[in-house]
Amino acid sequence: MDLKNEVISIKDEIIKLRRNFHMNPELGFEEYETSKFIKEYLDKEGISYESYAKTGVCGIIRGDLEEKKDRVIGLRSDIDALPIEENNKCEYISTVKGKMHACGHDGHAAILLGVAKILNRNRELFGGTIKLIFEPAEETIGGARYMIEEGVLTDPNVDIMCGLHLDENINCGQVEVKFGAVNAASNPFKVEVMGVGGHGAYPSSAIDPIVISSNIINALQNIVSREVNPLNSAVITVGSIHGGTGANIIPEKVTLTGIIRTLNSEDRQLVTKRVDEIAKGIGLTLRGKVKIEIEESYPMLINDKNSVNKLRNAAIKVIGEENVLEQEYPHMGVESFAYFANEIPSVFYFLGCKNEEKGIIHPAHSSLFDIDEDALMIGVAIQCQMVLDYLTNWRNNINLIRWGK
């Protein structure tokens, strides 16, 4: 098998798939047409599948060889879009007003379908099982946890998971991967501060929830600067404040919302506990009442050492060691692949899609985000290589010609 030529042979098809997804974006748990399209493609390729979590899909490919027949590897792609009006000027611009694939999930889905096509038509090369997991609602509440609850990682049980994310900060032709912590955990919170309303000219006859709220906001920042180990990263963001209707009116209530982000379980426990204590304590001190809700949202994404090494070895075979970079610091943003990584050994890496010459420089979640579509072929090749390395001993039968050589 010449992996490079296999991938090149479906280049136009993969780009067409990505553009179809891009033109027809759907938000989390609304990916009905996206899910239908994926299923129809798998049907066409003769790949069986099951439905999960409303709009999620899991394709299943079983190798023909007896060797390593008990091994199971899972590959994941997210499929949802964002509520953004696209401002790109290209032939494949979003056709849905106010919705856009501005985070590369269109590319992720196209890559996984390309992997499915190549591996399914080369089943004689490997044993074991491949699960192709198309996850809904990554951008909102994380479809991964619902797919897991419904059994996507069982029957047969997945041994190892691999996921990727297109990254506009990394040049096309390169990847970044990291041992250990890759993405932060998050805990969204909501604080309701109740006071006593009154006339702005007579504050002594009221209890001002705006003043209480401002004290809470300032005090919360001291948690990171004075209570979290300075060698660790943590972020507390208060992102919205709602209260009051007029300049001369002291309102009865103010509502704050925000998110806590941490990179280890100890800090997560400490910060959530202290946010609760400080908000309630200041409310009591300033004669108000505080109600606080802190959600247990996305967990930390921790890469497994052995899984990282498997991914690195596969990527080196495809693009060369000089193009396999080590991610220096964890991302403080969240990633729902963490739910999979919490269950089984996993690796999550970043696939470069930046190309300054082509003007591919705009950040994810912006209305001008786009990718260098050459990155799609590299993603397909690396994913295929990792699967073949894991599910076969016939490595010498696979052409490991470096990409671009």
Cβ neighbourhood burial of 218 (10 Å; 0-12, 13-18, 19+): exposed
Output the DSSP codes for 209-274: HHHHHHHHHHHHHHHHHHTS-TTS-EEEEEEEEEE-SSTTEE-SEEEEEEEEEESSHHHHHHHHHH
Query: Could you tell me if 243 and 207 are in contact, meaning their C-beta atoms sit under 8 angstroms apart?
Result: no
Query: Could you tell me if 382 and 347 are in contact, meaning their C-beta atoms sit under 8 angstroms apart?
Result: no
Query: Could you tell me if 340 and 367 are in contact, meaning their C-beta atoms sit under 8 angstroms apart?
Result: no
Residues 6+ apart with CB under 8 A from 128: 62, 63, 68, 69, 70, 71, 72, 73, 390, 391
Single out the catalytic residue among 41, 52, 92, 298: 298
Element (H, E) at 72: strand 72-78
Confirm whether 373 is a catalytic residue: yes
Cβ neighbourhood burial of 133 (10 Å; 0-12, 13-18, 19+): buried
Three-class DSSP category at 107:
helix
Q: Which residue type occupies 70?
A: D
Single out the catalytic residue among 92, 176, 373, 390: 373
Confirm whether 298 is a catalytic residue: yes
d(CA 172, CA 374): 7
Best CA proximity match to 308, nearest among 319, 320, 330, 324: 324
- Residues catalogued as catalytic: 298, 373
